[in-house]
Amino acid sequence: MAMACERKKILWLVLHLLMVVFVKGAPQVPCLFIFGDSLSDSGNNNDLATVAKANFKPYGIDFPFGPTGRFTNGLTTIDIISQQLGFEEFIPPFANTSGYDILKGVNYASGAAGILGAVVSLGLQIAHHRVIVSRIASTLGSMNKAQEYLSKCLYYVNIGNNDYINNYFLSQLYPTSQIYTPHQYAQLLIQHLEHNLLDLIDVGARKLVIVGLGLVGCTPNSIRTFGTNGSCYEEGNEAVSIFNSKLVSLVDTLNFNLSPYSKSIFIDSTAVAIANTNAPGFTVSTVGCCVTGWSGECIENEEPCNNRKEYVFWDDFHPTEAWNQINAINSYAATNPSFVHPMDIKQLVDQQVNIMLPEFPHHFKTHLTTTSAL
């Protein structure tokens, strides 16, 4: 009986997604700006000197345009959310906005990026956004007009996984875990993230979607490297849960201090993953669908599995499109209130915010960092 109910729920979710995708009309927000790591990257790393790339087969095997730099077989979570929001075209990567209308948004996410650094850090992504805001102001005629326009847009921030996977958990390469306890490290990340988010608000962000970290201890890489008998690396999951708890507090602090000038929401990726552990159709969750090399990414041109919709993971780190659909649907219109805080994306886009002058947020920077309940 319970399984039947779960199947009905998943079927409803898929039908809901299909209805949203094929409904024509203006997007629910005029533009979407995306910040993050490989979970959201759509090609920003293609020409960078880094091994964190996905512009080759079998990546993109199910994507309409083949390999583009997306670290999955098809659509990323934010690709699907953009469709749910009504965008007919995918948001272009910052590295290639030529021929695209930047008034509809830009994707700055970069594979291997983190809050503290690596490749294109969150701070650098926001610096890139300042360039785009200047171009938007020139197009619209003034910065005030740009601020008014940007206040209606959606800002999606999904970052922090690599600060653990590629730093804190790699004690053989980095001393971070010897210097900081899990609570101290989470605090450090939150403080940096807070400054980044305030900088984003400073250049016009008013509606922010801040995604929490998932079960990083349950990726195929973590299971193989740290797990025992094929089980998750629970110590890693516990460290990430500390960060997520502090992130919820940060969202509450931003909303308390900046309301009615901005609204922020938290997406609980861990809660979504736990609730869908036994989701119908998924039969493989401990290994990826493609053949991976030393980096945990797919080996170029190696044939992946055929039953991709049954796999949670595409490679050793990144979900399949099938799993991304579950994340996207529960971010946009949460089937369980515990998945989001204090609301989901669908509710956020309907929120009204006051328009501030460009210099207004500066008043709050010191106030926020000294009063945040972190």
Domains and CATH numbers, the chain: 28-350 (3.40.50.1110)
How confident is the model at residue 1, as a pLDDT? Answer: 43
For residues 231 and 324, the answer to whether their CB atoms sit within 8 Å is: no
How confident is the model at residue 98, as a pLDDT? Answer: 85
Q: How far apart are CA 106 and CA 129, in angstroms?
A: 8
Q: Tokens 């953009």 appear where?
A: 82
Q: Return the SS3 of 158.
A: strand
Termini Cα distance of the chain: 43
Q: Residues 83, 88, 90, CA angle at the centre, nearest 5°?
A: 70
For residues 264 and 254, the answer to whether their CB atoms sit within 8 Å is: yes
Q: Residues 117, 120, 126, CA angle at the centre, nearest 5°?
A: 95
Q: Which of 79, 315, 316, 344 does the annotation list as catalytic? A: 315
Dihedrals phi, psi of 107, to nearest 5 degrees: -105, 115
Residues 6+ apart with CB under 8 A from 360: 261
Considering Cα of 319, then 321, then 327, then 332, what sign does the dihedral take? positive
Q: Considering all CA atoms of the chain, what is the largest pairwise distance in Å, rounded to the nearest integer?
A: 61
Specify whether 318 is catalytic: yes
- Smallest Cα–Cα separation from 368: which of 223, 261, 214? 261
36: left (phi over 0), alpha (psi -120 to 50) or beta: left
Q: Which of 38, 42, 222, 264 does the annotation list as catalytic? A: 38
Q: Which of 318, 331, 341, 372 does the annotation list as catalytic? A: 318
How confident is the model at residue 235, as a pLDDT? Answer: 97
Specify whether 62 is catalytic: no
How confident is the model at residue 368, as a pLDDT? Answer: 53
Specify whether 315 is catalytic: yes
Q: How far apart are CA 327 and CA 80, in angstroms?
A: 9
- Smallest Cα–Cα separation from 105: which of 141, 84, 132, 74? 132
Q: How far apart are CA 267 and CA 209, in angstroms?
A: 7
How confident is the model at residue 19, as a pLDDT? Answer: 46
How confident is the model at residue 99, as a pLDDT? Answer: 81
Strand partners, 267: 211, 340
Q: How far apart are CA 102 and CA 92, in angstroms?
A: 8
> Tens of pLDDT along 4-42?
444 444 444 554 454 444 445 799 999 999 999 999 999
60: left (phi over 0), alpha (psi -120 to 50) or beta: left
Q: Residues 214, 117, 96, CA angle at the centre, nearest 5°?
A: 90
Q: How far apart are CA 115 and CA 161, in angstroms?
A: 9
| DSSP H helical ranges for the chain | 2-22, 77-84, 122-140, 143-150, 161-163, 176-179, 182-202, 220-225, 234-258, 269-275, 321-332, 345-348, 362-371
Q: How far apart are CA 129 and CA 202, in angstroms?
A: 11
Q: What is the pLDDT along the chain (374 residues), one digit of tens a residue?
A: 444 444 444 444 554 454 444 445 799 999 999 999 999 999 999 999 999 999 999 999 999 999 999 999 999 999 999 999 999 999 999 999 988 899 999 999 999 999 997 789 999 999 999 999 999 999 999 999 999 999 999 999 999 999 999 999 999 999 999 999 999 999 999 999 999 999 999 999 999 999 999 999 999 999 999 988 889 999 999 999 999 999 999 999 999 999 899 999 999 999 999 999 999 999 999 999 999 999 999 999 999 999 999 999 999 999 999 999 999 999 999 999 999 999 999 999 999 998 764 454 444 554 454 444 33
pTM over 0.85: yes
